[in-house]
Structure 1
Amino acid sequence: MGAVVLGAGAALMLPEWLRAHALPLLAGGALVPALGMTLKVRLDRWDGPHLW
């Protein structure tokens, strides 16, 4: 929820500066959570001994 509020506030305060970087920010914002979820699912499905 905090990331949503931060992103909305930045979008309201910095529209001209963010417009030039909109596509890289959008791609990064989609890629990072997708990568994290993929890695979490792989760890959850791994049948080996836990590392801790």
Structure 2
Amino acid sequence: MSSMELTFAKQEIEDLKQAGLLQRSATLTLLLDLQVMLEDGDYDEALEFIKGHVE
């Protein structure tokens, strides 16, 4: 993952947090799991993961 892609992914995560769309009690665990997926380049899996945790 390029630096620009990682920056974009981090901003997307922050936007989700700010919008209150992630379950607050599990935010850290979810973000760590998502970070691993993004670092591994599993973008489709990461997108499905996000969709599965949005209210």
TM-score per shorter chain, which class?
0.3 to 0.5
TM-score (norm. length: structure 1): 0.40
Structure (1 or 2) with the larger CA radius of gyration: 1
TM-score (structure 2 length as normaliser): 0.38
